[in-house]
A and B are shown apart, each in its own frame.
Chain A
Amino acid sequence: GENVEQHPSTLSVQEGDSAVIKCTYSDSASNYFPWYKQELGKRPQLIIDIRSNVGEKKDQRIAVTLNKTAKHFSLHITETQPEDSAVYFCAAGGPNTGFQKLVFGTGTRLLVSP
Chain B
Amino acid sequence: DAGVIQSPRHEVTEMGQEVTLRCKPISGHNSLFWYRQTMMRGLELLIYFNNNVPIDDSGMPEDRFSAKMPNASFSTLKIQPSEPRDSAVYFCASSGLMGSYNSPLHFGNGTRLTVT
Contacts and interface: CB of A to CB of B under 8 A. Distances in A.
Interface of A: 31-32, 34, 36, 42-46, 49, 51, 89, 91, 93-95, 98-102, 104, 106-107
Contact of B102 (A44, A89, A93, A107): A93
B43 A89 contact: yes
A98 B32 CA distance: 13
Contact of A101 (B42, B45, B110): B45
B95 A100 contact: yes
Given A43-B91, A44-B91, A107-B43, A100 B107 contact: no
A99 B104 contact: no
Interface of B: 31, 33, 42-43, 45, 48, 50, 55-56, 91, 95-96, 100-110
Contact of A94 (B95, B102, B103, B104): B102
Nearest to B108: A43
Given A32-B102, A34-B105, A43-B107, A100 B96 contact: yes
Contacts of B107: 36, 43-45
